[in-house]
Structure 1
Amino acid sequence: MTSGDWDGVRLHVVTGKGGTGKTTVAAALAMALATDGKRVLLVEVEGRQGISGVFDVPRLGDDEVQVATGPGGGQVVGLAVDPKAALLEYLQMFYKLGMAGGMLERFGVIDFATTVAPGLRDVLLIGKVYEAVRRRPSRRGTRSDKLYDAVVLDAPPTGRVGQFLGVNHAMSGLAKMGPVKNQADSITAMLQSSQTVVHLVTLLEEMPVQETVEAAAELRGLSLPLGAVIVNQEVTPPVGERTLELLAADDFDTEPLATDLTSLGLRVGPRMVRGLTQTGVDLTQRLALQDRERAALAELDLPTYHLPLVPGGMDGGGLLELTATLTKQLTEGAGV
């Protein structure tokens, strides 16, 4: 998949098993899309303030605020959707409740509605995303272009993403007609259209890959268009193939290693040699695991992008590294 394959895509939904770094990947994707002056909205719906943490900015609220500048002067704007605020906005939009909506919140009705009816909660949350995707400038004389060139949604994890995106199924027992049902139908139509793709973030480990495979099957069953598999924190071997072969052998001889270390002026003892050898063995096992899981992902027949493990944890520099890596792969069509 090249960036050209995303022409016409307005919404990029990013999901993955918890712990795979999906929020960081969503942020890197938003940065990669914000090229050449483009404006990208990055939205979260889980109340974790993950976007503010990744970009090291103040907590996000109902207002859309710029959180980063993309390559070539683009803008990344952040938004954290709150279900209560979304419901109040919805009530004002469709029922013109105005101050009465504030009274409902004061008496706990809003909390009750968004907690007891999870289907309604999801419609409200993704409804804000739907509005951002379809939004047009309101000033007279402006062109009919959307306000944002793309919207990236940091969605719930794979275990819940099908329920979250399957809003029509969630609403079937709550509303048979009316504005809520109409909005759910419109959201579903957008999600199933060519305007949307769902990206799956994973690690090359057994559980994340298994959840990725299961999520892909569930999303296909809901007729939701899949985008790419994004492999995060991929380990690349720091040594050559010959060294890996020697480490993987049952009869690995540590004497040459000890001799080489001694020649460098190091104080070499059995503990150091055993520790270094075990580190090498662990590396070969990790790489073998990655190969097995990579083969399982290949069966999904989806474009695959690879992001490296950033040593020392994620910070601003690490995010820029992931953005550059992803941008390069998108440009060169490396998602194969």
Structure 2
Amino acid sequence: MPHNLDARTDALARVAPMSSDWPHVQLHVVTGKGGTGKSTVAAALALGLASHGKNVLLCEVEGRQGIARMFDVDPLPYAETRVATGLALGEVRPGSVYALHIDAESALLEYLAMYYKLGRAGKALDRFGVVEFATTIAPGVRDVLLTGKVFEAVQRNSRNKGARQYDAVVLDAPPTGRITQFLNVSDQVAGLAKVGPIKHQADTMMTLFRSPRTAVHLVTLLEEMPVQETADGIADLRHARLPVGGIVVNLVRPQDLDPGELAAARSGELDRAAIAKDLDRAGVAVADDLVDGLLTEAAEHAERRALEDAQRRVVAGLDVPSYELPRLVGGVDLGRLYELAELLKEQGLA
């Protein structure tokens, strides 16, 4: 990946506009096993979508304030806050990325204010601890409130007067192991209400979550456990009739060695003399322990590549569109997020 983003942007501006694989999706749900980088992918996806001239809302529901750290802004309140502008590619004026940190208590108070006109009364309930009680005593209520706010952001109505309309919403969702339960709100409320406004609200939300307007994207690494969890997650989503989006393979290692070199590295047959000659040509003092260390690293890299290639074949067999993002040296800051957003757009996810 080039380090000069401006040069890549100028080059892309001279070619035909890139198209998305998901043009009709309004709600992009991003999930993944812990440690796979799902929050980074969600942020990059939001930036990529905004490059189409769209205004995008990036939501988080896990209470970690990860969005604020990635975009280097103050911790987010329960309010939609502008955090970035999309990539400027070609003649399309980029849209903006807004962010929202959703917590269940604030979502419940907003719901009471919108649907039951309990403005001050709702805040009084919060002071007496009734809100916390309501979101902890009944299993599933917290998830219903969180997903309810996401639903409201996608399908704004007259009850939320003056609210900003978004072309797309990206949800940094709970991990893969919980995502089906999290989105399947009709099952969540089944034990609470068979009829009435709660049941009606859950059923209405499911019309969005199960529609082509929603896609659940899964983030994985080329490792056995994350790939297996991704496969299990896809099966669970399909069983619940929730729409599976794409698989984002994150943190992919460089692939600088060709198959022949990889085979030689794995078998310990790399040319020591050639390596020593290359080191000397680069002005590096040649020593046996240095060459031995390089040969060991090459063998480990080749072994790792073989494992990754095997997992890549498993991912390909899941019959889901897949996208790849590289491992970035030095971590991810806002500039790197733009680079990842560009790659997601090139590949068609954004």
TM-score, L = length of structure 1: 0.91
Measure the CA separation in 1 of the matches of 2:30 and 2:333. 20
1:86-105 mapped onto 2 (5 Å cutoff): 86-105=107-126
1:176 to 164, 183, 194: 194
1:55 equivalent in structure 2: 71
1:34 to 50, 74, 98: 50
Specify the SS of the correspondent of 2:53: coil
2:231 equivalent in structure 1: 213
1:244 to 239, 262, 272: 262
Unaligned runs of 5+ in 1: none
TM-score, L = length of structure 2: 0.88
The sequence identity of aligned pairs, in percent, is 52
Specify the SS of the correspondent of 1:229: strand
Cα pair distance change 1:278/1:169, threshold 3 Å: same
Number of aligned residue pairs: give it. 328
Cα pair distance change 1:138/1:188, threshold 3 Å: closer
How far is the alpha carbon of 1:244 from its aligned partner? 1.9
Say what the alpha-carbon RMSD is for the aligned residues: 2.3
Measure the CA separation in 2 of the matches of 1:216 and 1:164. 14
Which residue identity lines up with residue 84 of structure 1 in the other structure? E
2:142 matches 1:124: no
How far is the alpha carbon of 1:176 from its aligned partner? 1.4
How far is the alpha carbon of 1:217 from its aligned partner? 0.3
How far is the alpha carbon of 1:97 from its aligned partner? 2.5
Which stretch of the first structure deviates more once superposed, 33-42 or 157-166? 33-42
Which stretch of the first structure deviates more once superposed, 259-268 or 207-216? 259-268
Measure the CA separation in 2 of the matches of 1:27 and 1:262. 44
Measure the CA separation in 1 of the matches of 2:159 and 2:135. 30
2:132 to 111, 115, 124: 111
Query: Cα deviation per residue 1:253-308 (whole Å; 9 max; x = unaligned)?
Result: 53432344235442222221121111111111111111111111112101101111
Specify the SS of the correspondent of 2:146: helix
Question: Is the Cα–Cα contact under 8 Å of residues 94 and 179 in structure 1 kept in the other structure?
Answer: no
Question: Is the Cα–Cα contact under 8 Å of residues 254 and 273 in structure 1 kept in the other structure?
Answer: yes
How far is the alpha carbon of 1:36 from its aligned partner? 3.9
Measure the CA separation in 1 of the matches of 2:168 and 2:254. 32
How far is the alpha carbon of 1:139 from its aligned partner? 11
Question: Is the Cα–Cα contact under 8 Å of residues 40 and 151 in structure 1 kept in the other structure?
Answer: yes
Question: Is the Cα–Cα contact under 8 Å of residues 137 and 147 in structure 1 kept in the other structure?
Answer: no
Which stretch of the first structure deviates more once superposed, 154-163 or 233-242? 233-242
Specify the SS of the correspondent of 1:245: helix
Unaligned runs of 5+ in 2: 1-17, 89-93
Question: Is the Cα–Cα contact under 8 Å of residues 40 and 150 in structure 1 kept in the other structure?
Answer: yes
1:296 equivalent in structure 2: 314
Cα pair distance change 1:36/1:221, threshold 3 Å: closer
1:74 equivalent in structure 2: 95
Query: Cα deviation per residue 1:64-83 (whole Å; 9 max; x = unaligned)?
Result: 01111002321111001111
Measure the CA separation in 2 of the matches of 1:75 and 1:138. 24
How far is the alpha carbon of 1:182 from its aligned partner? 0.9
